[in-house]
Chain A
Amino acid sequence: MIARIRTVFVQEFRLARRNQWVLLATLMLTLFALALAFFGAGQGAALKADVLSLTAASLATLSVYLIPLIALLMSYDAFSGEVERGALALTLATPIRRWELFAAKFLAQCCAAGIAIVGSLAIAGAAVALVYGTEPAGLWAWARLTATSALLGAVFVAAGLTLSAATGRTARAAAFAIGIWLVMVVLYDLALLGGIMAAGEGVFASRVFPWLVLANPADAFRLYNLAALDAAPVAGIDGLARTLPFAPAAALGALALWLAALLALGMNRTGRIEP
């Protein structure tokens, strides 16, 4: 079992590296992080706030878009591509279990995405800390951002793998990946915003709304990072971070639940692929 998982892991990670996904994702994240840090730095200096904490806040808002996109792009073709090329039949003709295959692909792509996320945030964080100096609180905010970004990446890698196994065709998997990204990351927020404007102050805003935010992994990620920051200037949906009916750590629980559910669903779908 371990030998087979390792075999698939090695191959899958190698492919992620050769496809330049790791490099591309690292570059992209590093550039965005540095841009936010140095464009936002003037504002931070004026507020006499810690630049690293401020950058962590603005980067949390940006990562919500970028990280799911990167994770989905990395993973959406992992099964469908092999089904179309006929290579999956060969893999499944060996004694490997379907869940082992899913787990190995998941681990490899999480590593690839994780290396990109941790690497780019480490570079950008170090640059900001060197230029502007920092405090322990800023370092903590940065560390939280890095760890939860990796977790968010894992959730969307699992989502991408699951839809890849469920659709079995590259073109459909790509369409679903874009669809999931749009719905979870963009439209969900817009709908919530519309809902709260329509409902105004009331039961919806104070009782229902926070849970709806928690129910979306992307929003849960942002909520956790913003709620943990006292200094961050927050507005709109994120203003909610101040008046939660639950502890911010609940957002982490939501992410973990999503991850567990997607892994279970993905393994189930992988079991049903007909090569």
Chain B
Amino acid sequence: MNVLDITGLTIAFGKTVAVDNVSLSVAPGERLALLGHNGAGKTTLFKAILGFLKPASGQIAVAGHRPGSDAARIAVNYLPETVAFARNLTGREVLEYFSGLRGAPRAEIAGLLERVGLTGAADRAVGTYSKGMRQRLGLAQALIGAPRLLLLDEPTSGLDPVSRHEFYGIIAEAASRGSAVLLSSHGLEEIQNRTDRVAILAQGELRAEGTLAELAARAALRSTIRVTALPGEAERLHAELGGTRVNGTRLDIPCPPGAKLDLLARVGSHAGALADFDLQTPGLDDIYRHFSGQPLREETPQ
């Protein structure tokens, strides 16, 4: 059974439709990344799962329960986009507080502090923590009571690459213990190899969903071959190969996925006229842009 099931969910603030007919599910132990620009509706979706917002239509089931019910609140745990714990409390006191509210065993706290690497700083005031430590404390808070569903709203924004790496390590560990993880993020690069599936949200709509490989195949983006002609040869190459002139000597030739080798051979037959040659394959960013409806970075007019 899925830990999270969302069907046809729509949430509106007045006239703004923040989440538009979204269906999603997450299985135990699975990590799903929710990708979207600012304002795409990620936080709104999380708040609905927590039961803070009423859907205009559609259903949410958290481990089979209605959001906001006691069973759902126990099953799901949350790390908000921005959270600042009271500066005068120690890390341990913050965890004791949430542990008490969830009725989780107090004995678990030392282990959680250990897992996020805060054992040494546990009895220092949160006000003295670095950004990374505060975020790790937030994650420890989210792990209290071994939740069946972890909601992490842009958990690594503002973290340096090393902290980010450690953060995903802890998340992977939680998933390996059976927690379902739903996390939001701005970029595909960051979550590559770190989540099992990806869902792309744009303007409240779910634009695509699947593994990265599936999304790449579905996007079927063109590569671009960029050649630099020897002086005086650009005109002739353009006539022979098509594409667009970028400046006096450069030429960009769009290349559909199936036609790569073919085109390469044709370019090769003009080897004598070339000064340089470059193949640009679509990156993760391009796949993301493709689905979220933003123009490609260097899209070439046909």
Where the two chains meet, the residues of A that have a C-beta atom closer than 8 Å to any C-beta of B are 3-4, 6-8, 10-11, 14-15, 18-19, 85-87, 89-96, 274-275
B85 near A85 with CB under 8 A, answer: yes
Which residues from A are CB-within-8-Å of B52? 89, 92, 274-275
B89 near A15 with CB under 8 A, answer: yes
Instruction: Give A87 to B74 CA distance when docked, in angstroms.
Output: 17
* Given A4-B101, A7-B101, A274-B52, also A93-B73 (CB < 8 A): yes
- Name the interface size band of chain B: 20 to 34
Considering only CB atoms, which chain A residue lies closest to B76 in the complex? A93
Q: Does B80 contact A (CB under 8 A)?
A: yes
15 extra interchain contacts, Cβ-Cβ under 8 A, other than A86-B84, A93-B76? A4-B100, A7-B96, A7-B100, A8-B97, A15-B88, A18-B89, A85-B83, A87-B83, A89-B52, A89-B80, A90-B80, A90-B83, A94-B98, A95-B103, A275-B52
Instruction: Give A10 to B82 CA distance when docked, in angstroms.
Output: 25
Which residues from B are CB-within-8-Å of A10? 97, 100
CB distance from B289 to the nearest CB of A (A): 30
Which residues from B are CB-within-8-Å of A86? 80-84
Sampled A-B contacts (30; CB under 8 Å): A3-B100, A4-B101, A6-B100, A7-B97, A7-B100, A8-B97, A11-B93, A11-B97, A14-B89, A14-B93, A15-B89, A18-B89, A85-B83, A85-B85, A86-B81, A86-B82, A86-B83, A87-B86, A89-B80, A90-B80, A90-B83, A93-B50, A93-B73, A93-B77, A94-B98, A94-B102, A95-B70, A95-B73, A95-B102, A274-B52
Considering only CB atoms, which chain A residue lies closest to B83 in the complex? A86
Which residues from A are CB-within-8-Å of B93? 11, 14
> Which 8 pairs, one residue from A and one from B, show the smallest C-beta to C-beta distance?
A7-B100, A94-B101, A18-B88, A86-B83, A85-B84, A95-B70, A95-B73, A11-B97
Which residues from A are CB-within-8-Å of B81? 86
CB distance from B75 to the nearest CB of A (A): 11
CB distance from B19 to the nearest CB of A (A): 16
Q: Mark B22-50, 1 if CB is under 8 A from A, else 0.
A: 00000000000000000000000001001
Which residues from A are CB-within-8-Å of B89? 11, 14-15, 18
A95 near B74 with CB under 8 A, answer: yes
